């Protein structure tokens, strides 16, 4: 028996809820699907599926075995891919984390370029707006935008993140345009939970300046604040990488051009210098090139 093929059949039946649908998906006969399932059940020694005239459901043993079969199929795909890349090319899974905003608007297409260059590597992305524990969550690389680094981790600076104070034309038509930073106190400022929640910091010709702000919406995800800004809810501070196109299209307007929000560093953060895998090393080098080539990050 081709056990990997039998597991593939079992997974298809579990996902489709029908032997016939699984047969169509796998382009094989229903009789062949039934045979593979019977041989798999004989091999493991337990019944994996409840079969009725209307549907197929998992037994308790089947529910326990399903994720293990998916894992085995994933390993099989990785082993199959080994022979398709040069011997000296990086191989394996790279697990990385970044913010939702950065991951969606800038990082995703760069990862596509990297995977095209290194087909032996698979990337597992975790997009969250919090500082994850690299060890507990098995993260190889965290891309963080911050000025407050954990001294226990290794960090390589990739670039500089600049921000913009912005609002929609609709909001400004209804509430007026602030001409000075202090006038922000008269407006509904949408704030980020982890940075500048009640104080926005600026670099001005006269030096650093802090401006108290408040508003009706705080969120831990900057893309939520950007959506609210576009909807005319208020004024927000947004990274330039997420707003350049919107500014060019006139969907939002940059405010206070003489007051640049304080910049943040962009870092690739990882746990150890001694155990840097080939996927991690090559991806860091790739990111350094990508950030250096993009004027947004200089």
Q: Where exactly are the structural domains of the chain?
A: 3-82, 92-159+265-297, 163-262
* CA 265/CA 159 separation, integer angstroms: 6
Question: Which class is 3-82 in CATH?
Answer: mainly alpha
Tokens of 15: 């996902």
CB 256 within 8 A of CB 70: no
Half-sphere exposure of 53 (CA within 13 A, CB side): 0
SS3 8: helix
CB 97 within 8 A of CB 127: yes
Query: Do strands 189-192 and 218-219 pair parallel, antiparallel, or not at all (unpaired)?
Result: parallel
Instruction: Name residue 268's beta-bridge partners.
Output: 143, 156
SS3 89: coil
> Around Cβ 10, how many Cβ atoms within 10 Å?
26
CATH 3.60.150.10 for domain 163-262: no
Q: Domain 92-159+265-297: give its CATH architecture.
A: 3-Layer(aba) Sandwich (3.40)
Helices (H), 45-151: 60-82, 100-102, 108-117
Q: Which of 86, 60, 65 is nearest to 10 (CA)?
A: 65
* CA 270/CA 125 separation, integer angstroms: 15
CB 241 within 8 A of CB 105: yes
> Around Cβ 149, how many Cβ atoms within 10 Å?
14
Query: Do strands 199-204 and 264-270 pair parallel, antiparallel, or not at all (unpaired)?
Result: unpaired
What Rg value do the Cα atoms of the chain yield, rounded? 26
Tokens of 225: 């604040």
Q: Which of 212, 218, 222 is nearest to 184 (CA)?
A: 212
> Around Cβ 103, how many Cβ atoms within 10 Å?
19
% of the chain surpassing 90 pLDDT? 47
> Around Cβ 19, how many Cβ atoms within 10 Å?
20
Q: Do domains 3-82 and 163-262 have the same CATH topology?
A: no
CB 237 within 8 A of CB 163: yes
Q: Which of 134, 129, 110 is nearest to 239 (CA)?
A: 129
In this prediction, the residues of the chain whose per-residue pLDDT falls under 70 are 1, 53, 80-88, 196
* CA 115/CA 213 separation, integer angstroms: 42
Tokens of 101: 């905003």
pLDDT value, residue 55: 79
> Around Cβ 275, how many Cβ atoms within 10 Å?
9
Number of H helices, E strands in the chain: 10, 15
Element (H, E) at 199: strand 199-204
């Amino acid at each position: 028996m081709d056990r990997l093929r039998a597991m593939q059949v079992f997974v298809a039946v579990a996902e489709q809820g029908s032997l016939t649908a699984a047969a169509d998906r796998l382009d094989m006969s229903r009789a062949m699907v039934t045979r593979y399932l019977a041989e798999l059940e004989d091999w493991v020694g337990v019944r994996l599926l409840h079969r009725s005239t209307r549907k197929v459901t998992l037994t308790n043993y089947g529910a326990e075995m399903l994720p293990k079969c998916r894992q085995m199929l994933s390993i099989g795909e990785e082993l199959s891919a080994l022979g398709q890349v040069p011997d000296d090319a990086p191989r394996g899974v790279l697990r990385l984390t970044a913010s939702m905003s950065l991951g969606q608007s800038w990082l995703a297409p760069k990862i596509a370029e990297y995977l095209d260059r290194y087909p032996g590597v698979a990337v597992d992305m975790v997009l969250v707006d919090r500082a994850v524990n690299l060890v507990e969550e098995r993260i190889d690389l965290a891309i963080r935008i911050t000025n407050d680094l954990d001294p226990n981790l290794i960090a390589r600076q990739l670039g500089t993140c600049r921000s913009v104070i912005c609002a929609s034309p609709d909001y400004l038509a209804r509430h007026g345009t602030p001409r000075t930073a202090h006038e922000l106190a008269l407006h509904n400022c949408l704030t980020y939970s982890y940075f500048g929640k009640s104080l926005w910091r600026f670099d001005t010709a006269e030096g650093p300046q802090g401006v108290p702000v408040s508003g009706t919406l705080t969120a831990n995800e900057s893309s939520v604040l950007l959506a609210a800004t576009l909807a005319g809810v208020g004024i927000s501070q947004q990274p330039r990488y997420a707003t350049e196109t919107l500014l060019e299209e006139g969907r939002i307007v940059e405010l206070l051009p003489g007051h640049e929000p304080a910049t943040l560093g962009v870092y690739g953060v990882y746990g150890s210098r001694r155990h840097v895998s080939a996927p991690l090393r090559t991806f860091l080098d790739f990111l350094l090139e990508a950030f250096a080539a993009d004027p947004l990050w200089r």
